[in-house]
Chain A
């Protein structure tokens, strides 16, 4: 029974303003940098050992919160990639393919446990290298990394139950390329299902955030995985291209921009490489007038400002039903003022550093475009640190459906707000994008939720919540947001070929 029904006669208070600007100020609560041991230099993790790059080149990785150098990492060239692929192929033939599935699973369980043991260290490394608030890496990224390995470990010896009437076989060597927004989590999303299904791996983390993956390499070494089953090599676009182009790779798994995803599909055409592409998004977050407004506003804030908006499924387009438009916009503006922007290592910080100078420039470019196209910009009045890359949380109103800020993925803390009147109108507007990764709906009416969640063309739909993730829950896009799923039972298939039993 819906007990809320009793209170329906009480009118919603539209005048109450949330007050956060009280005398209570937060004292700094910085996490200790000492929790992370970062070497001055990292080599490539190939065949179970850290090896100097054949390229003989290294590049710096910096802390985007203060622009200080954290370490330098090897830049793998095509010869290094070849070496890593050979190691993976050899490990596939020699160990991994022959190993009983339950033993394979036990190795993955080991990794999960070691990630949990070293969670604090990994969280600090992640925040330093990536710029995300320590609260997020501590409470979200790293725990979910451990959980993801733990979940897929258990699948290793149960595949025959997942695909009835089929004999599921691994593909071979998987080349995996991941982005900088959730560095270690994306590594887990890639490596865990690949290993559970019996494939071996060559993984390349993003050039701005290589450190947590290299820490994972240490863990994999410590877990005593057979050499070459997981190889982690660092580098930029050229290294990624060398992986995609390598003739002895059976599977490409890529998370990143739609632009690069299309290039990958084109480049691997005519080969037998399979691909999973998890690409960009421009999610619609829809608030109906019967929604619990305060809760919805919290969901919108989380939807677009989580991880500085560096989230492919971020709720970057907000559609508000006309009758509550003013109220919602006012409450979002109020809430914006309360967000703490600054040092990612401070446990009070809500919005940390933008991952790189380049990304900050992209965001600034879109802020200019938005204003130029006639949208109204509103930003929090917060102060920004003088060093490092930061952006004030920003909303745009008076946005047209055709505006670039409503069409293109910005990948930053920038929200485009539009209004709507009817269900049909908002469905059409929400679906009017080449993307189809995620969407959100806020309403108190169950039948409306299911009408909306059915009609929104997106791979993940959050109703009365947003930005939730779980190892058991499949994630991935419709349309130009890519194909294949990661997570859950559905996340196994992209790493398998199904043979007929008959």
Chain B
């Protein structure tokens, strides 16, 4: 849906530095004449179904930091991108939910391994996006640890949340959690990596697939994290990451009829209200995480996994015709 009426950012005339200038590492380049070799700049694309397309809308915006430095041209995702991502997430849902919980745990662990290997790149991106070096190192470390945390939960939260129910009739009866299906997520906007990881991990640990809208102002880590996912044995479509504006996309995240649950992390009452309203179209489970500080221990818990689980109860008769009275 290339909508020409929506204002896409254009490069402002008074920009102080070119995007390319941010790609520099050593100062010698600042005179405009490369002293060694010309760097390859990264293209930040969206992630749908395990592939890295550009937005179908052809639109982009410029991510910049608080100093006004231009960081990248980022895809300004559209409704059609979102719908394609939902199709990818739905297609991946059966396979991912059907995997052994142990296997999902291994894959989450693998994501953490890959992230660890590319730590420097994430720290670099966080620093570009206004974090201090120390904050950046802390955030990347926490993000890796959070993935390890949820990797461990993959085959355990079911045990804590399942019950064998002692019904009064002659039946065997048990209840287990099952993934709710496809979850649309609007990631915390003030965090580039940790918030994103903190909302994705519990959702996929529980066997759901998801479509995530990354932080608008700090999108770099989201796109790089998609590359980590892509090289971590996470099947295509399990996590789909879009970049774009909440104001444009939130209503589609809320009203899509093939999305089962919706997570929103900002304290924006009007958007929360809209999400509940539109979510009612197909009775989405609407979850708000606007009070969680992702940097603390409250940012992780098996209760967060349970927010996108359903409880299934199964009954079967027990043959009760007497006879076996031995034993006790």
Contact = CB atoms under 8 A, between A and B. Distances in A.
A25 B272 CA distance: 63
A479 B260 contact: yes
B7 interface: no
Contacts of B160: 164
A13 interface: no
Contact of B303 (A147, A270, A470, A498): A498
Contact of A270 (B168, B276, B312, B316): B276
A490 B276 contact: no
Contacts, number: 116
A460 B313 contact: yes
B316 A266 contact: no
B310 A488 contact: no
A262 B171 contact: no
B165 interface: yes
B168 A470 contact: yes
Interface in A455-499: 458-465, 468, 470, 472-476, 478-480, 482-483, 485, 488-490, 498
Interface string B241-273: 000000000000000000010000000010011
A258 B314 CA distance: 23
Nearest to A473: B165
Interface residues of A, number: 45
B276 A268 contact: yes
Contacts of B282: 434, 479-480
A59 to B, nearest CB: 30
B30 to A, nearest CB: 48
A266 B280 contact: yes
A461 B283 contact: no
A453 interface: yes
B271 to A, nearest CB: 10
Given A164-B160, A270-B269, A473-B167, A464 B316 contact: yes
A271 to B, nearest CB: 9
Contacts of A147: 168
Nearest to A458: B312
Contacts of A279: 283
A487 B80 CA distance: 41
A477 to B, nearest CB: 8
Contacts of A479: 260, 282-283
Contacts of A358: none
Interface string B158-172: 001001011111010
Contacts of A458: 312
A295 to B, nearest CB: 9
Q: Of B160, B168, B303, B313, which is in contact with the most chain A CB atoms at under 10 Å from its CB?
A: B313
B311 interface: yes
B283 A277 contact: yes
B84 interface: no
A459 B180 CA distance: 11
A422 interface: no
A381 interface: no
A500 interface: yes
A459 B169 contact: no
B298 interface: yes
Nearest to B280: A265
Contact of B171 (A263, A277, A465, A482): A465
B217 interface: no
B132 to A, nearest CB: 26
B280 A474 contact: no
B317 A470 contact: no
Contact of A470 (B173, B285, B311): B173
A105 interface: no
Contacts of A269: 272-277, 280
Contact of A461 (B166, B269, B276, B313): B313
Interface string A404-447: 00000000000000000000000000000010000000000000
Contacts of B279: 265
B250 to A, nearest CB: 13
B166 to A, nearest CB: 6
A394 to B, nearest CB: 27
A482 B276 contact: no
A502 interface: yes
B165 A266 contact: no
A277 to B, nearest CB: 7
B21 interface: no
Given A268-B276, A474-B175, A459 B167 contact: no
A240 interface: no
Given A262-B281, A265-B279, A266-B276, A461 B168 contact: no
Interface in A127-170: 147, 164-166
A261 interface: yes
B280 A502 contact: no
A449 interface: yes
Contacts of B298: 500, 502
B32 interface: no
Q: Of B166, B167, B301, which is in contact with the most chain A CB atoms at under 10 Å from its CB?
A: B167
Nearest to A463: B316
Contact of B280 (A262, A475, A478): A262
A468 B171 contact: yes
A279 B276 CA distance: 17
A404 B37 CA distance: 69
Contact of A488 (B175, B269, B277): B175
Contacts of B275: 269
A178 B175 CA distance: 24
Interface in A238-283: 258, 261-263, 265-266, 268-270, 277, 279
A498 B167 CA distance: 27
B192 to A, nearest CB: 25
Given A459-B310, A470-B165, 13 more contacts: A263-B280, A265-B276, A265-B283, A266-B277, A269-B272, A270-B273, A279-B283, A470-B167, A473-B315, A476-B311, A483-B283, A488-B163, A502-B297
9 contacts: A262-B283, A265-B283, A269-B276, A270-B276, A270-B277, A453-B314, A460-B315, A470-B168, A482-B283
What are the nearest 4 A-B pairs in CB distance? Answer: A269-B276, A270-B273, A265-B280, A470-B167
Interface of B: 160, 163, 165-169, 171, 173, 175, 180, 260, 269, 272-277, 279-283, 285, 297-298, 301, 303, 310-317
